[in-house]
Amino acid sequence: MPQSVIAILELVVRLGEIIGASALILGFVLVTIRFFRQIRTLGAVASYYGYRKGLGRVVLVGLEILVAVTIIKTVTVDPSPESLGLLAITIVIRTILSWTTMLEMNGRWPWQKTVVH
């Protein structure tokens, strides 16, 4: 692959990492601000459950971005066995976090059907 293409892909990867980390940080800040505002109107308990759901969504979005960037990096910029191992570990961690976050947010595993009342 030409060096100029690799340089552009490395830049895309760095920007993606910054965007993913920023999504996590900014999302945490915004959800926390909303939590403290809602305490006054909804009460502590209702606000707490909304806060947990909001944090879960932030983590899922941030992880999706970081996994996408890791895939791009592994496939194009650094296709080494070490980076492939890192990608595999990242995907496993993301999958486990996603499943447990969905369980926390919805009270059921992602593969379980929604109970209709």
CA distance 46 to 98: 23
Task: Provide mean pLDDT across the span 9-16.
Answer: 91
pLDDT of residue 28: 96
CA-based R_g, the chain, Å: 18
Task: Provide mean pLDDT across the span 45-60.
Answer: 89
CA distance 16 to 29: 20
Report the candidate in 62, 68, 45 with the shortest Cα–Cα distance to residue 98: 62
pLDDT of residue 14: 93
Q: Which two tokens stand for residue 116?
A: 């209709």
CA distance 1 to 10: 13
Q: Which of 4-8, 63-67, 106-110 has the lowest mean pLDDT?
A: 106-110
Q: Which residue has the higher pLDDT, 25 or 49?
A: 25
Query: Of 18-27, 52-61, 80-89, which one has max mean pLDDT?
Result: 18-27
Residue 73 — very low, low, confident or very high, per pLDDT cuts 50/70/90? confident
